[in-house]
Chains A and B, each alone.
Chain A
Amino acid sequence: MSRIFTAGRLRRPCSRVPAPSAGPAPGPARPGGRPRGRARRRIGGRVPVPLAAAGGIALAFLLLPLAGLLVRVPWRDLPELLAEPEVREALRLSLLTASIATVLSLAVGVPLAWLLARADFPGRGLLRAVITVPLVLPPVVGGVALLLAFGRRGIVGRYLDAWFGITLPFTTAGVVVAEAFVAMPFLIVAVEGALRSADRRFEDASATLGASRWVTFRRVTLPMIAPSLGAGAVLCWARALGEFGATITFAGNFPGTTQTMPLAVYLALETDPDAATALSLVLLVVAVVVLALLRDRWLRPGTTL
Chain B
Amino acid sequence: MSPVSGLGERDGPAGRVGPPDGGGSDDGALLARLRVRRASGFTLDVTLTAASGTTVAVLGPNGAGKTTLLRALAGLQPVDTGRISLDGLVLDDPTEGIFVPAQRRTVGMVFQDYLLFPHLSARDNVAFGLRCRGVPRAAARAAALRWLETFGLAEFAARRPGALSGGQAQRVALARALAAGPKLLLLDEPLAALDAATRLAVRGDLRRHLSGFGGPSVLVTHDPIEAMVLADHVVIIEAGRVVQQGPPAEVARRPRTDYVARLVGLNLYRGEAEAGVVRLPGGGTLTVADSAITGPVLAALRPSAVMLGVVEPHGSARNTLAGRVTGLELLGDRARVAVDTNPALLADVTPAALAELRLEPGSRVWASFKATDIETYPDEAL
Report the bound CA distance from A240 to B167 in whole Å.
48
Stretch at the interface among B17-25, B127-135, B254-262, B343-351: B127-135
CB < 8 Å neighbour of B129 from A201, A202, A209: A209
In the complex, A223 has a CB within 8 A of chain B: yes
In the complex the two chains form, is B132's CB within 8 Å of A208's CB?
Answer: no
In the complex the two chains form, is B111's CB within 8 Å of A211's CB?
Answer: no
Report the bound CA distance from A208 to B180 in whole Å.
9
A222's nearest neighbour on chain B, judged by CB, is: B119
In the complex the two chains form, is A215's CB within 8 Å of B132's CB?
Answer: yes
Q: With A204-B76, A215-B132, A219-B128 given, is the CB distance from A210 to B117 under 8 Å?
A: no
B114's nearest neighbour on chain A, judged by CB, is: A205
In the complex, A293 has a CB within 8 A of chain B: no
In the complex, A6 has a CB within 8 A of chain B: no
Task: Give, as a whole number of angstroms, the nearest-CB distance from A205 to chain B.
Answer: 4
In the complex, B176 has a CB within 8 A of chain A: yes
Q: Note all chain B residues with C-beta closer than 8 A to A207.
A: 75-76, 101-103
In the complex, B139 has a CB within 8 A of chain A: no
In B89-106, which residues have CB < 8 Å from any A CB?
101-106
B180's nearest neighbour on chain A, judged by CB, is: A209
In the complex, B118 has a CB within 8 A of chain A: yes
In the complex the two chains form, is B76's CB within 8 Å of A210's CB?
Answer: no
Task: Give, as a whole number of angstroms, the nearest-CB distance from B215 to chain A.
Answer: 14
Q: With A201-B111, A201-B115, A226-B119 given, is the CB distance from A208 to B74 under 8 Å?
A: yes
Task: Give, as a whole number of angstroms, the nearest-CB distance from A291 to chain B.
Answer: 26
Q: Note all chain A residues with C-beta closer than 8 A to B271.
A: none
How many A-B contacts at CB < 8 Å in the complex?
65
Report the bound CA distance from A99 to B177 in whole Å.
42
B134's nearest neighbour on chain A, judged by CB, is: A210
In the complex, A132 has a CB within 8 A of chain B: no
In the complex, A167 has a CB within 8 A of chain B: no
CB < 8 Å neighbour of A209 from B71, B118, B132: B132
In the complex the two chains form, is B119's CB within 8 Å of A211's CB?
Answer: no
In the complex the two chains form, is B103's CB within 8 Å of A212's CB?
Answer: yes
Query: Mask for A19-62, Cβ within 8 A of B = 1, else 0?
Result: 00000000000000000000000000000000000000000000
Q: Note all chain B residues with C-beta closer than 8 A to A220.
A: 117
In the complex the two chains form, is A208's CB within 8 Å of B107's CB?
Answer: yes
Task: Give, as a whole number of angstroms, the nearest-CB distance from B112 to chain A.
Answer: 9
Q: Note all chain B residues with C-beta closer than 8 A to A199.
A: 115
B133's nearest neighbour on chain A, judged by CB, is: A210
Query: Mask for A207-241, Cβ within 8 A of B = 1, else 0?
Result: 11111110100011001101000000000000000
The 3 A-B pairs of least Cβ separation, nearest first, read A209-B129, A207-B102, A210-B132
List, sorted by A's number, 17 A–B pairs whose CB atoms are closer than 8 Å.
Answer: A201-B111, A202-B117, A205-B109, A205-B115, A206-B117, A207-B75, A207-B102, A209-B177, A210-B132, A210-B133, A211-B103, A212-B132, A220-B117, A223-B120, A224-B117, A224-B119, A226-B119
Besides A208-B75, A209-B180, 16 more A-B contacts (Cβ < 8 Å) are A201-B115, A204-B71, A204-B76, A204-B102, A205-B117, A206-B128, A207-B103, A208-B74, A208-B186, A209-B103, A209-B132, A209-B176, A210-B129, A212-B103, A220-B117, A223-B120
